[in-house]
Amino acid sequence: MATEKVRAEITGTVWKIVSQPGQQLAEEDTILIMESMKMEIPVIAPVKGTLASLLVKEGQEVSEGQDVAVIET
């Protein structure tokens, strides 16, 4: 199986994790929600597959471009 890394598009804080490892995801399903400048920004699955792992936890600071999850396609 191939893997696809999901990266944060902004710098912010992981506000809420929506999907859990092992969960099947459709393209554009929400994986987690980040908070930046009092805005909530969803991080979505770029491809269909299984969420293999989350690389962050709620409350964690994340930089733009940082890997936040891995999807097995």
Q: What are phi and psi of 42, to 5 degrees?
A: -75, 145
Q: What is the pTM of this model?
A: 0.94
For residue 62, give the amino acid letter: V
Q: How far apart are CA 15 and CA 52, in angstroms?
A: 20
Rg (CA), the chain: 11
| pLDDT per residue rounded down to tens, the chain (73 residues) | 799 999 999 999 999 999 999 999 999 999 999 999 999 999 999 999 999 999 999 999 999 999 999 999 9
- Catalogue the E-assigned strands of 1-73: 3-7, 12-17, 24-25, 30-36, 39-44, 49-54, 61-62, 67-72
